[in-house]
Amino acid sequence: MSKTPSRSTPQAIRGTQDIFGADAEAFAFVVETFERVRKLYRFRRVEMPVFEKTEVFARSIGETTDIVSKEMYTFEDRGGDSLTLRPEFTAGIARAFLTNGWQQHAPLKLATHGPIFRYERPQKGRYRQFHQIDAEIVGAAEPQADVELLAFADQLLKELGIAGVTLHLNTLGDGDSREAWRAALVEHFRAVRGELSEDSQERLEKNPLRILDSKDRRDRAFVADAPKIDQFLSDDARAFFEAVTSGLDAAGVKWTRADGLVRGLDYYRHTAFEFIPDEGSEAASKLGSQSTVLGGGRYDGLMESLGGAPTPAVGWAAGIERLAMLVGEPTESSSDLIVVVEDDTRLTEAFGLMRSVREQGFSAELIAEGSNRKRFDKAKKKPHDVIVSLQQNMGHSVSHENSDAPVLQAIKPYA
């Protein structure tokens, strides 16, 4: 008999998830597909620390961004250093590129995945510990890197079976274009300053581009008629963007121009993009208000903010949970073989059989607990190709619906 615990059981931390069952299968499917496709594109795996010195994020993402100003899990360790649980991969990868001398491998195509931490208000599709897949091309200045990276994202979504999601593409121009655009935006928004949300009034001074990213209804009207980047693009920046878009067309990647799209972080230049569910699509209804599944862009200015030499780079990240919500219910996978032990003296034989079948590359499950008479019925209820039941007096039975089941070859003496 279990006794009532004297103290109540601790609860999980708000915004974290215990992922199990169909959700866990969908999660694994996303990661496995990412791993498979990144190999097709020849991206190399990299494993990154979950925490970094706080300045890695503060300096590269930007002090005025939501992430750095409100969302980071920052703490002092026992040695008195300020550390932060990674709120994204890119800054840590940039730090690693500089501290390890990875310049020698440039251009370097990297892929990774794992937990990410942001102190946000938890809701459907938004957590405090979530997971990302991430792809970066570091040390590549040419627009073909952007094309390669986006083709990877596009193929990944296709292979996940996700439909009704479109690539929204913009350019933020080079440094000069961005500055001119910024000045025009400040002028535009200053004229209506009092009517903007409090957050956007603050953004006006620090980073007006970010007002375009505002989700606040009060800002929407003024965002809609704000000056567009196209008026301010230098010839170089325009040529760069045209090379990206014609490359995408050639690679068969569908895209749509979104001239109001900006990314929340300071380090972006040139290409910026998000994959967003189409309005009214099934994907949109599954995700609710958390709409962006994959986002990224070119971050040519980032390495310098970490004290490195100018290093052009482009990358994206996608939330595994949000992708998993779109891949639908995976069908429960079935065992190639279930071995039922109806006579306990035959357990050792069952172990041998299981081992041999698995070594031949088939999945196998053992049922040898509970009442002997009920074991076979239990097996029948589980998805399977073949059941071998070991009975008294060295007898056995084999049941299957398909006499071509490949595992039958592997259990010849029984079949």
Positions in the binding site for ligand ATP (CB under 6 A): 88, 118, 120, 125-127, 130, 132, 264, 290, 292-295, 317-319, 321-322
Pairing of strands 129-138, 313-319: antiparallel
- Closer to ligand ATP by CB, 95 or 131: give it: 131
- Closer to ligand ATP by CB, 43 or 130: give it: 130
Instruction: For the CB of residue 129, give the shortest distance to ligand ATP in the complex, in Å.
Output: 8
Token reading at 271: 């290409």
Token reading at 239: 């040529």
Q: How far apart are CA 405 and CA 139, in angstroms?
A: 50
Instruction: For the CB of residue 322, give the shortest distance to ligand ATP in the complex, in Å.
Output: 4
For residue 81, which of 51, 49, 48, 53 has the smallest C-alpha distance? 53
Residue sitting closest to ligand ATP (CB): 319
- Closer to ligand ATP by CB, 298 or 322: give it: 322
DSSP codes, 349-415: HHHHHHHHHHHTT--EEEE--S-HHHHHHHHHHS-EEEEEEE-GGG-EEEEES-TT-THHHHTTTT-
Instruction: For the CB of residue 265, give the shortest distance to ligand ATP in the complex, in Å.
Output: 7
315 contact partners, CB below 8 Å, separation of at least 6: 90, 93, 134, 135, 136, 137, 138, 149, 296, 297, 299
3-state secondary structure of 225: coil
- Closer to ligand ATP by CB, 193 or 206: give it: 206
Instruction: For the CB of residue 395, give the shortest distance to ligand ATP in the complex, in Å.
Output: 54
- Closer to ligand ATP by CB, 52 or 336: give it: 52
Instruction: For the CB of residue 17, give the shortest distance to ligand ATP in the complex, in Å.
Output: 10
- Closer to ligand ATP by CB, 62 or 319: give it: 319
User: Prior bond to 107 cis, omega within 30?
Assistant: yes
Find where tokens 């615990």 sit: 5
Instruction: For the CB of residue 145, give the shortest distance to ligand ATP in the complex, in Å.
Output: 19
Q: How far apart are CA 135 and CA 156, in angstroms?
A: 11
